[in-house]
Amino acid sequence: RLSMSLLKQALNTTTKLSCFVVFILIGSTIFSLVFQGVDGPRWVEHLLTGMPGGQLGFLILVNVLIFFLAFFLDFFELSFIVVPLLAPVAHKLGIDLIWFGVLLAVNMQTSFMHPPFGFALFYLRSVAPNKEYTDKVTKERIAPVTTMQIYWGAVPFVVIQIIMVGLIIAFPGIVSSGLDKEVAVDLDKIGAQMQANMPGETPAAPEVPAPDAGAPAAPGAAEPAPAAPAAEDDPMKAMLDSMNKDEPKK
């Protein structure tokens, strides 16, 4: 049950984690500034653009590097430290940055399942039983779940992520198929629809030129209809006036 002590504990833990993330962001920003100050990005660019294989060689090297770095760094550090170094090189090689970002995101998802620092492994370890217990429904003895079982259970999911990385590289259209489609927008049609949906406004009636006072009316021509009374400007005021008129009758 929720209590003040439990709430304080949750706030304390959340504050600590938030501070960790902020300090990681500050450290990565300082590292990036220092690295740029010593022309580090230019060195990385010359190193990666001079590799054999062109775009394919660059993508294979980058994904292997991200995969092994994910064993020790989570996605946050990879996003703020490694990706800013790789994005300019990918842009220079003619790689679509949106597609490249999705590719790296799929690869960095494996950081949640890598031992020994995978967050998903920690979450499962915190809820999985570490001691033998009796099931309340079946009344059977349930064996504990060991840490090695959790590690081996994450292997198929890591393999699935690696297969997805290969599919995105082999078939870029999985990500970028709809990026080049132009969306036709008719601004005149949108403006007319907005005017029609605006409350309290009615389309103006076409103006009819008034006949001259001295000109005789054409035979058979109908007399102009009397102008309709103007609507109340304030509907709320009209309703209040009507209610005030009805009160003496009651």
First to last CA, the chain: 58
Which letter does DSSP use for residue 206 in this model? P
Contacts of 105 (CB under 8 A, 6+ apart): none
pLDDT band at 208 (very low <50, low <70, confident <90, very high): low
Mean pLDDT for the stretch of residues 131-136: 83
pLDDT > 90 in the chain, percent = 3
What is the dihedral sign for C-alpha 242, 246, 247, 248?
positive
Q: What is the pLDDT of residue 195?
A: 76
Domain boundaries, the chain: 39-176
> Of the segments 19-23, 104-108, 228-232, which one has the largest average pLDDT value?
104-108
pLDDT band at 246 (very low <50, low <70, confident <90, very high): low
Q: 3-state class of 209 per DSSP? A: coil
pLDDT beyond 80 at 113: yes
Q: Quick check: 93 and 55 in contact, CB under 8 A?
A: yes
Length of the chain: 250
Q: What is the pLDDT of residue 163?
A: 92
Contacts of 120 (CB under 8 A, 6+ apart): 112, 113, 154
pLDDT tens across 158-170, in order?
Answer: 899 999 999 998 8
Q: What is the pLDDT of residue 140?
A: 84
pTM over 0.75: no
Chain Cα centroid distance, residue 179: 16
Tokens of 17: 């984690």
Q: What is the pLDDT of residue 228?
A: 47
Mean pLDDT for the stretch of residues 153-181: 85
pLDDT band at 231 (very low <50, low <70, confident <90, very high): very low
pLDDT tens across 12-61, in order?
Answer: 989 988 888 788 788 878 888 888 888 877 888 888 777 777 888 888 88
pLDDT tens across 79-95, in order?
Answer: 888 888 888 888 888 88
